[in-house]
Amino acid sequence: MSGVKWMIGPVALLSLLVVLGWLQYQWVGQVGEAEQERMRASLESSSRRFADDVTEEMFFLLRYLRLDGLEGAAASLVEGREVYVNEVRYPELLSGLYVYSLDGALLQLDDDGELVEAVWPEAFRGLKDKLEDLGQSVGDRRRGQQSPVPVVWRDPLAVAVPIAWFRRGRPPAAAGFTVATFDELVIRDTILPELAARHFGPDYDVVVVDRTGEVFYSTTEASELSHPDAEGDIPRMGRFLGRPDSVRGKAPRRPFSDRGDSFRGGDPVRWRFMVRHQEGSLEEAVARARARNLVVSFGILGLLAASIVLVAAATRRATELNNQKMEFIAGVSHELRTPVAVLRSAGQNLADGSVSGKDQVLRYGELIESEGRRLNDLVEQVLELSGIQSQKRRYRRDRVAVEDVIEEAVSDCDDIASQRGVAIDTSFETSGLTMAGDHEALRRALANLITNAVKHGGDENSIELRAEERPGSLVALSVSDRGPGIVPKDQVHVFDAFYRGARAQERQVAGSGLGLSLVRHIAHEHGGDVTLDARPGGGCRFTLLIPKYQELG
């Protein structure tokens, strides 16, 4: 019952950890979904700002190209260009400024601020035709007067801002157009990289393609991004044309309306950009982050669970060790009581003069010497254990004769063997074997094995002690008995300190539970080992393995 009680606390804590793990799993899932929505909203916002900023960098010039007539156009354009160059980050984006009048004349603003005659570049042949058509439609009275409208040309990128002609009582008409052309290499090599880094950072891939699908700019080696997380058009004219003008301290105004028909020249979209997370998609990035969070969370919970198990096991072990120590104290007290009682009785008889005659004195002397040795062995065991546990015990590495150790160990056990009527048979497969170790420690270890065999071997017991050489330069000292053996559940604990088997407790066999533990410590300190071969009803065989002594050089 006590074994069940101590498990209630750890099991309850482990159950609580399981509940916390389930809640953590649910919470991490919810956090992942919220994070995915946040990242998607942030990416969409970044995409809009990216498109707006690229568009603004390209068409910021429009704010300075509004002319009220052809007279003084050169001076107005020079002034607007100077303000533009001083206020923008990429003045090199502007590649040319032209004035196109409805009579077909084309003038270019040169570096000296003069309008000189020019010829339409071949790439802008389509823009020229479009402006000529607009000029004819404005001058055709049968189609009515039309307000001037801007023209955004897609390929190559250019913009034509109408030069208004105001007449009293009538709508304004177009007297011509101011045409600005852009250097697309500046957009590709300077503007797009800086804005992509600012708005998307290193976690996203950005690809910009033209209307034919050819890559114009890319932050990755991929030619296209399948299933992008976000995409949009460049320029984003609908947003830009409705933005108020506050750059030069002017009152906010809308240079053009927000309607989709506020410009001419067809679809003004020059490029399309696609953005995708480097993990493959936002879903995959969030899934990986969720997996990492789960690994960390469950790792922490696992450590807590392991800590609970270890603390519970340590507590259980401490309780068992305390019980074993109490049993050890009881066993040692019992072991001490017998020789002390015998010694006191013998001393009392000698003091009272009750012992007379040479034979009685001799018998009392032998009794005192035997019980004194028994008491000394018990004290040595306790001191041995204390020295081993405090790491202060050190063993010598001398040349030890196997036959001498066996003879002395058997002599130490003669009394207990004679009292129980147990015969000890010794045999040597090889004579002259030597071991490397501490003579006294090895003698005590072997004597403990013999004493253990005598005590637990039963009524019809006999002991066989055998010495042989084993592979690996080892000497094997085997002690076998014909007792009832050891049950399997006790076999794994026979070498534990203070442990006494169930059968020994039932039969009330005297002992402290230290003998076999000391044997194992002595064997390990000598670089050897001790093994057990036992089965219920078939006796036991303990084998002490000690390295052979080898001459140096």
Residue 357 lies in a domain: no
Two structure tokens written together for 363: 């018998």
pLDDT of 355 strictly over 80:
no
Give the pLDDT score at 261. Answer: 33
Query: Residue with structure tokens 């053009």?
Result: 256
pTM: 0.53
**Least confident among 180-194, 279-293, 364-378, 432-446:** 364-378
Does residue 271 sit in the same domain as residue 408?
no
In angstroms, the CA 409 to CA 141 distance is 135
- Give the domain CATH number at 553: 3.30.565.10
**Bond prior to 156 in cis (omega within 30° of 0):** yes
First to last CA, the chain: 62
Q: Per the domain annotation, does 147 fall within a domain?
A: yes
pLDDT tens, residue by residue, 189-228: 998 999 999 999 888 999 998 878 888 899 887 666 778 8
Q: Is residue 269 located within the same domain as residue 414?
A: no
Q: Which amino acid is at 40?
A: R
CA 188 from centre of chain: 41
CA distances from residue 54 to 8, 188, 416 in whole angstroms, order as listed? 67, 11, 103
Q: Tell me phi and psi for residue 150, to 5 degrees.
A: -75, 160
d(CA 320, CA 330) in angstroms, rounded, equals 15
Closest by CA to 484, choosing from 534, 533, 539, is: 539
- Provide the pLDDT confidence category of residue 385 given band limits of 50, 70 and 90: low
d(CA 139, CA 144): 9
What CA dihedral angle connects 139, 142, 144 and 146, to 10 degrees? -30
Give me the number of domains the chain comprises.
2
Same domain, 272 and 398: no
pLDDT at 193: 92
156 located within any domain: yes
Q: Is residue 138 part of a domain?
A: yes
Contact 317, 498 (CB under 8 A): no
pLDDT score for 170: 54
The answer to whether 474 and 547 are in contact (CB under 8 A) is: yes
Q: What percent of the chain has pLDDT over 70?
A: 78
Residues 264 and 403 in one domain: no
Question: The domain containing residue 451 runs over which residues?
Answer: 394-553
HSE, CB side, 13 Å, CA atoms: give it for residue 386: 6
Structure tokens at 530: 């001790």
Residue-level pLDDT at 499? 64
**26 falls within a domain:** no
Summary count for the chain: helices (H), strands (E) = 14, 17
The residue assigned the tokens 């004195």 is 361
pLDDT, one tens digit per residue, over 242-285 is 443 333 333 333 333 333 333 444 456 788 899 998 888 888 88
For residues 220 and 75, membership in a common domain is answered with: yes
Residue that is last in its domain, among 262, 277, 292: 277
pLDDT of amino acid 245: 38
Contact 372, 405 (CB under 8 A): no
Whether 68 has a pLDDT exceeding 50, the answer reads yes
Q: Are residues 71 and 208 in the same domain?
A: yes
Handedness of CA 140, 143, 148, 149 (dihedral sign): negative
Q: How confident is the model at residue 350 (pLDDT cuts 50, 70, 90)?
A: confident
Question: What mean pLDDT do residues 303-329 have?
Answer: 78
In this prediction, residue 238 has a pLDDT band, given cuts at 50, 70 and 90, of: low
**3-class SS at 550?**
coil
